[in-house]
A = this chain, B = another copy of it.
Amino acid sequence: MAENRRFLLVRRPQGTPEESDFALEASDIPVPPPGGLVIRNRFASLDPAQRGWMDDAESYMPPIPLGDPVRATTVGIVHASDNPDFAVGQWVMGLNALEDYSVAMPGGFTMAIDPDAVASPSNYLSALGAVGLTGYFGLLEVAKPRAGETLLVSGAAGAVGSAVGQIGKIKGCRVVGIAGGPAKCRRLLEDYGFDAAIDYKGKDHEALVAAIAEAAPDGVNMVFENVGGPVMEAEMFNLAHHARIVLCGLISEYNAPEKVGLRNLWQVLARRATIHGFLIADYAERFAEGGAQMAQWLAEGKLRMDEDVQEGLENAYPAFMRLFTGANTGKLVLKIS
């Protein structure tokens, strides 16, 4: 490969991203800046958060500049190095972009990884990456589960949700998942060991409230929220007193020009619940600790993390859209090369 293909953001999406919001262009392979690296990306993580970075809105990270490649966490191999701590051929992960080759400066998110410790280097984008660790730290450090409590997970068949539910089971909780469609609900029960699964599709507000009440007859002690919107609103009517809600994602809202939000805040007040805005970046210093525990659970067979690996940088757009159509069946990963 003599060129660097790059998946560029060329227009800010209005609502659902369109293919023409992006362009695949080729440029020369970069050379390392002083003290820096060039990484040949092998796998890239595709995540709902990337949709937020495409907007021109203040957030926890600056927007992706127009004309730049779409920011993404990748794993890859050092292609060229001007840094004595990183040798050519070494595996690394970092916050790079959807492109064949990324320039990286050690000191940011870039870190060495050991591909022999896992079944596939892509595991560093799933169980041992931000996704798995979002479930790990969000549940254990924010919700602080106690054995016997009921945990409700939305977006439960997704990468974060399935990790959260399985960790909840490891901690002795009753785990109820909400997902879209019978196939996902079956996976919750059969693949991930949830105690109950609720298909939100085809259910209006009252039906969804009733389904949660049936699956959580003593009320919900913890909500791990990945979805927002009407699903979250229905959850709020089933809170136990002093419930803890980990607000981790709002995927139902990201492409919506009019946000639904949370119309029934009164339920939060009356149940004395707490809502905790949560970003995994706050736990960056503890990634090694969390990754080691996740790797152990994987090895022991206590944790299963499915990956939905899509092939080819040229398929970045349809691959990314799988997040929003619900087509992905596990942590969505793009195999770049």
Binding site for B on A (CB under 8 A): 52, 59-60, 228, 247-250, 253, 258-266, 268-279, 282
Q: Is the CB of A260 within 8 A of B263?
A: yes
Residues of B within 8 A of A59 (CB): 266, 270
Residues of B within 8 A of A60 (CB): 270
Q: Is the CB of B269 within 8 A of A279?
A: yes
Residues of B within 8 A of A258 (CB): 263
Q: How long is the Cα–Cα vector from A266 to B260 in the complex, in angstroms? A: 11
Residue of B whose beta carbon sits closest to that of A249: B269
- The smallest beta-carbon distance between A60 and chain B, in angstroms, is 5
Q: How long is the Cα–Cα vector from A249 to B260 in the complex, in angstroms? A: 20
Residue of B whose beta carbon sits closest to that of A271: B277
Q: How long is the Cα–Cα vector from A270 to B272 in the complex, in angstroms? A: 22
Residues of B within 8 A of A260 (CB): 263
Q: Is the CB of A276 within 8 A of B274?
A: yes
Residue of B whose beta carbon sits closest to that of A243: B277
Q: Is the CB of A279 within 8 A of B275?
A: no
Residues of B within 8 A of A274 (CB): 274-277
- The smallest beta-carbon distance between A133 and chain B, in angstroms, is 16
Residues of B within 8 A of A259 (CB): 263-266
